[in-house]
Amino acid sequence: MSKANRTESRMRMILGHASRVTVCLFAVVFALATAALGQGTSEFNLQPSALSPSAVAPGGVSSTTTQLTPALNSGFTGSVALTCQVTAAIATTDTPICTLSPTAVTVPGTAVATITTKPTTTQTLYSITITGTGPTTTYTSPALDFTVLAVTPQFTITVQSAVAPTSVPAGSGAQGVVSINPSNGYTTPTGGITLACGSISPLVAISPVCSFTPNGSLLHVTGGQAALSTLNITTYGPIVTGARAHPRIFYAFWLPIPLLVGIGAATGGRRARKAWGLIALFVLSASLLLVPACGNTTNTTSTPNGITPANTYTFTIVGVDENGVVSSNVSSTNTGPTVTLTVTTPPKQ
């Protein structure tokens, strides 16, 4: 091959390589421009936002907002029908359901897709796609990743009814109601859930005592239904042990009066006897009225357990089942639900 032919061949190779580079650059620029302007067809662009949240526990809900705009230089203002599809790489149970509102959008406009799961939804990775169909074109968005998380069945405790009364004298009690709420398919084991006041504040020598009805093996939650338990708070105060009588000696001074009346009636005349008779009747009536007051009683008390000091007490409620599962709203940052009760000084007997 001559030198001229070799030079011509090299030039052709260089031009061919340059053409391929040019085509590649054009493709990249076109892709970037498409991403910047939106993704869609010659009629419309369709762009869903990221899922919020992108991962949920079984029973959770997520959503995404889809924006529809006219394609560049199209001037399109027609209606686009929307559908949503949920897929997974494995066979699933109770696959998440995707619903759109609205299901048809006049461009420009938006639609919200809501992804709903059940407590029994298979815990895996799902793909969510939105498809828009215009008068002549159809476009399906790139898949959005949606994860249903693997979680542990558990339960939480909430205060359904606050303690009432809110203030009691030492020696009296109060009651409230707590709710045990299962989540993630939790079912109580045979031994049930045991409730307790994990802490009482402030700490005192003779503090209030709390108990629950029912408790232990009698307390069960199944089928996602909550169970209720009554919280009983008991305080210590004076205990009535009997009654003590206090005689009133003053009223014994009435006793000689009938004798004096009799003497006066015997020594006086007819009129005097009538007067003394009226006096006797008056004295007899007065004595009958005053008989109940001739003595007085007061209650006697003792404090064998001491007296709960006057204060406002806070009780933290926890629960644990026989497998060691603790109420999930107890953590390093949350000690659990609380109730309060104010104890006042007991009245004097």
The pLDDT value recorded for residue 229 is: 95
With cut-offs at 50, 70 and 90, classify the pLDDT of residue 239. Answer: confident
Cβ 318 vs Cβ 328: under 8 Å: no
The pLDDT mean for the chain works out to 81
Intra-chain end-to-end CA distance of the chain, in Å? 129
pLDDT surpasses 60 at 201: yes
The pLDDT value recorded for residue 57 is: 87
CA–CA separation, 340 and 342 (whole Å): 7
What average pLDDT does the segment 221-241 reach? 88
Instruction: Report, in angstroms and rounded to the nearest whole number, the Rg of the chain calculated over CA atoms.
Output: 45
How far lies 121's CA from each of 56, 62, 90, 151, 158, in Å? 11, 14, 13, 11, 26
3-state SS record for the chain: CCHHHHHHHHHHHHHHHHHHHHHHHHHHHHHHHHHHHCCECCCEEEEECCCECCEECCCCEEEEEEEEEECCCCCCCCEEEEEEEEEECCCCCCCCEEEEECCEEECCEEEEEEEECCCCCCCCEEEEEEEEECCCCEEECCCEEEEECCCCCEEEEEEEEEEECCEEEECEEEEEEEEEEEECCCCCCCCCEEEEEEEEECCCCCCCEEEEECCHHHCCCCCCCCEEEEEEEECCCCEEEEEEEEECHHHHHHCCHHHHHHHHHHHCCHHHHHHHHHHHHHHHHHHHHHHHHHEEEEEEEECCCCCCCCEEEEEEEEEEECCCCECCCCCCCCCCCEEEEEEECCCCC
What average pLDDT does the segment 129-147 reach? 97
- Domains of the chain (ranges, CATH numbers): 44-148 (2.60.40.10), 154-238+304-344 (2.60.40.10), 240-302 (no CATH)
Q: Which amino acid is at 49?
A: S
User: Which pTM was predicted?
Assistant: 0.53
CA–CA separation, 271 and 176 (whole Å): 76
pLDDT surpasses 50 at 23: no
pLDDT surpasses 90 at 124: yes
Contacts 24+ apart (CB under 8 A), 21-28: none
pLDDT in tens, 85-115: 999 999 999 999 999 999 999 999 999 999 9
Give which of 82, 87, 69 is closest to 138, Cα–Cα: 82
The pLDDT value recorded for residue 216 is: 86
The pLDDT value recorded for residue 148 is: 95
**What is the phi/psi pair of residue 114, to 5°?**
-110, 125
Q: What is the dihedral of CA 117, 122, 126, 132, to 10 degrees?
A: -50
What average pLDDT does the segment 190-210 reach? 92
The pLDDT value recorded for residue 24 is: 46
Most confident of 36-50, 66-80, 180-194: 66-80
